[in-house]
Chain A
Amino acid sequence: MDKTPADNQTPLTAEAEAHVPEVSAAPDSPEEIEARTNSFLPELLTVSPSPHIRTEDTSRSIMLDVCISLMPALIWGIYVFGWRVLTLTLISVGFAVGSEFLYEKLMKKPVTILDFSTVVTGLLLALNLPVSVPLWMPAVGAVFAIIVVKQLFGGLGKNFVNPALAARVFLFAWPGHMSTFTSPGDKLSAAALKIAETDIVAGATPLASLKNGVLPDTSLFDMIIGYESGCIGEVSALLLAAGGIYLLARRVITWHIPVSYIGTVLLVTFVFAKSSLPFDFALAEIFSGGLFLGAIFMATDYATSPVTNMGRVVYGIGCGLLTVFIRYFGGYAEGVSFSILIMNLLVWYIDRYSKPVRFGGVKVDEAGK
């Protein structure tokens, strides 16, 4: 090595001095240094494979971000549908966390409720229910989601369908409760709560009328803001989008799934509009129903979506096509949950076939050009 005598003899520049951390004015004597150093030396040094540093992000910080991003939609839900929303949400989250805790205790597994992923599941389930469902439904749904869909398949990251969505579909075993929607601002009447017996439709969702090729009464503006009937968390496209932007900014999700999903629905419903106003029809399709909630929060669920960007686009398009197909030809007005669940089952194949070509996998001379 070349010596740099000139540099070494000059004292540190003022600038360098300022950047040398923790330089005390009077350096310790060698004895002091040695004594202090020995006091901090461990008996054995830790030997571990590299890398020796890690990102500060953890699964928990990511799940917390998801919870935060769902808050605007939840608060809006409370505003539009009343305090009962909060009760349902607390039940759903409480039973989700509680059942995970009990299951893991019973199975003598490490308890993982602190990773907040169950809170997300509970929240998403509540947001996917109509406000008029009886109180036992979120409880049953949450237990089903956590025990059957998540834990029996090995826990976090190993389930291959989205727990909240699977639970929602499971709850469709009581279709009367699940497809009764309250109009915004309505006081929940006793009748609406006893809906299974009386079969009254309290409020028609815009989607239901779209299914028949009729543009809904709800104005586009109301649909975007979220002043319409529907599930608790799905009504306000605007606030859901805000949550999505938060997740994008925090790099929790990438744009691929939401954009390809919503884009596909927009395009297909525009081309195959059931109305003479294709553009209005397509806009009403994307802003009504559970599309925003599904595309931003449910389809992007890590465990059940592809890991490559390419795969995510394919997956989003697949969800979009299936959604439109079910909305047009299926028995229910809504197709988001089913299409995401179907695509969930294909994730492994999508991942496998969207496996990127490894670096240098192309021939050298081709790559050089």
Chain B
Amino acid sequence: MAFTFHGGIHIDEHKTTRRCLVETMPPPKSVSIPLSQHIGAHAVPVVKVGDTVDKGQVIGVIEKGLGCPVHASVSGKVTAITEKNAANGMKIRNIVIANDGEERLSPDIKPWGKSLADTTTEEIIEIIRAAGISGMGGATFPTYAKIQSALGKVERIIVNCAECEPYITANHRLLLENPEAVINGLKILMKAFGLRESEIAVEDNKLDAINKLENRLVGSKMIHVRVLKTKYPQGDERQLIYALTGRELPVGKLPADVGCCVFNAETCAAIFNAFAEGMPLIERIVTVDGDCIKRPRNLLVPLGTSFTDIMHCCGGLIRSLKKIVSGGPMMGVSQWDKDGVVTKGTSAILFFSEKAENRYEQPPTCIRCGRCVRACPMRLMPNYLATFASQGKLEQCEEFDVIACVECGSCSYSCPGHVPIVQYIRAAKGQINDRKRAQAAALANSQVNPEKG
């Protein structure tokens, strides 16, 4: 029996690259490494223009607060430290390194000498922090901080290999080609949490990977492979936890509050690399696909590689490009800059022409078909949310739980009237949060200066 959740949608999978082996990308001539590829504080550069750096060398550190150090992904010379607009419009400093092609490894990279049994939880967390590992599924929360905050509350660790977004096959290939890294990484996490059991959850469109894992894990009482039904958004943390445990994670709570901690498969593999080889997170698997690209494939890419280099590496474009999406087509971010770069959270880069969008030339109109309501995994009523939001009725949006929306896009996807539902919802959420902040500020103000009332 496969595990699943309520609502959700079936999407054409487009997993063209399902059988494309992960190929190592020829190192690009230069990389541009953003000093913030995670949620939290920006890293501060510790190299200067003109410095020679080794592959894996620390080039940015976090001085205080939450965040991940940044490492050089190639060896070479720092040619510039510039500010660049990221996809979300934020200005982020980038360190540009010209690749000298020597692949010189930093001398700091050496395996953690001790066996896992002798390693303490604190040491594991430090290894993960030093390796700069953050969630590689797209959320990019620093992994060490996630472990720290969840310690003691967690009874189940779940490795998320649902990979429910269309097109992406990076995790699928990882499970097929290197299941050991994932399993070993998971064992390290289990040791850190002091747990004896854990689960790897895979959607049933990846039966070959499931078989492979099961073969590796024959007789293991520690790690269970769970088969999930293929449905979007199964990879959403809440739906995954619900499918496996029946627990509903309320809005505003963390998985640890229901005793779970979810890790991405590639994050596990990165943890294993950090432990076994001392290798920090400097490259990742990226699925390159979309109807514009000549040769869709899975690539192992150094972080900081530009989309242009990736385009060229994949045979170039074959039709007029409209959009570059970093991440999956459902939740990924469209890029304004063709020279944007691969970061720790980039699981896919998709090159779409106009056709992929299925545009409908009629003006967007809700015909009240109810498909969005059935699709919503959070059991909201997206059609009403969109209507209220478009009319600026924020109170009614709140009454209909707009805040609970996880922006999975299932509603917009399934809407035959092509109402940009999620867009309206995002706007309403933004306004509600602004208003709350303003109210909180006003309240704080009045408490500081009570005489002013």
Contact = CB atoms under 8 A, between A and B. Distances in A.
Given A2-B181, A52-B323, A302 B369 contact: yes
Contacts of A49: 334, 420, 422-423, 426
Interface stretch (B30-38, B210-218, B379-387): B379-387
B380 A358 contact: yes
A45 B334 contact: yes
Given A41-B338, A360-B248, A1 B300 contact: yes
B337 A58 contact: no
Nearest to A48: B334
A112 B362 contact: yes
A7 B330 contact: no
Nearest to B363: A110
A50 B21 contact: no
A364 B413 CA distance: 30
A21 interface: yes
Nearest to A27: B315
Interface stretch (B44-52, B59-67, B265-273): B265-273
Minimum-distance CB pairs A-B, first 3:
A360-B250, A51-B409, A307-B370
A32 B407 CA distance: 41
A107 interface: no
Interface in A1-46: 1-4, 7-8, 10, 12-13, 15-16, 19-23, 27-28, 30, 32-34, 36-37, 40-42, 44-46
A254 B249 CA distance: 29
B379 A359 contact: yes
B296 A357 contact: no
Interface stretch (B11-19, B91-99, B194-202): B11-19
Contacts of B325: 50, 52
A16 B20 contact: yes
A361 interface: yes
Contact of A157 (B16, B281, B329, B365): B365
Given A37-B316, A59-B365, A20 B295 contact: yes
A209 interface: no
Given A50-B331, A157-B417, A8 B178 contact: no
Nearest to A110: B363
Given A20-B297, A23-B295, A61 B416 contact: yes
A58 B360 contact: yes
Contacts of B266: 1
Contacts of A367: 246-248
Contacts of B300: 1, 3
25 contacts: A4-B22, A21-B295, A22-B318, A34-B316, A37-B317, A41-B317, A44-B336, A45-B334, A46-B323, A47-B335, A50-B325, A54-B418, A56-B358, A59-B360, A62-B369, A303-B368, A306-B370, A308-B373, A355-B381, A355-B400, A356-B380, A359-B378, A360-B249, A364-B250, A364-B258
A302 B413 contact: no
Contacts of A40: 292, 316-321
A368 B400 contact: no
A53 interface: yes
Contact of A53 (B166, B317, B423): B166
Nearest to B259: A368
A68 interface: no
Contacts of B177: 4, 7
A58 B418 contact: yes
Nearest to B11: A53
A57 interface: yes
Nearest to A41: B321
Nearest to B337: A45
A360 B269 CA distance: 31
A114 interface: yes
Contacts of B253: 360, 364
A351 B23 contact: no
A37 B374 CA distance: 41
B273 A52 contact: no
A156 interface: yes
B24 interface: yes
Given A21-B16, A33-B316, A157-B365, A50 B377 contact: no
Nearest to B180: A2
B332 A302 contact: no
A36 B325 CA distance: 20
Interface string A225-264: 0000000000000000000000000000010000000000
B308 to A, nearest CB: 8
B336 A47 contact: yes
Nearest to A19: B19
Interface of A: 1-4, 7-8, 10, 12-13, 15-16, 19-23, 27-28, 30, 32-34, 36-37, 40-42, 44-62, 110, 112, 114-115, 117, 155-157, 254, 302-303, 305-309, 312, 351, 355-362, 364, 367-368
A46 B335 CA distance: 8
Contact of B178 (A4, A23, A42): A4
Contacts of B140: none
A46 B334 contact: yes
A307 B373 contact: yes
A51 B330 contact: yes
A156 B379 contact: no
Contacts of B409: 50-51
A115 B362 contact: yes
Contacts of B383: 307
A23 B296 CA distance: 9
B422 A53 contact: no
A348 to B, nearest CB: 10
Contacts of B320: 40, 42
Contact of B273 (A1, A16, A36, A308): A1
A60 B330 contact: no
B248 A351 contact: no
Contact of B336 (A4, A45, A56, A305): A45
Interface string B363-402: 1011111100110011111011000000000000000110
Nearest to A312: B370
A8 B250 contact: no
A357 B378 CA distance: 9
B251 interface: yes
B312 interface: yes
A218 B433 CA distance: 66
Contacts of B248: 359-362, 364, 367
Contacts of B337: 45
**Residue from B21, B329, B414 with most neighbouring chain A CB atoms (10 Å):** B21
B26 to A, nearest CB: 11
Contact of B362 (A20, A51, A59, A309): A59
Nearest to B327: A50
A327 B11 CA distance: 46
Nearest to B378: A359
Contact of B422 (A47, A51, A254): A51
B413 A54 contact: yes
A361 B317 CA distance: 47
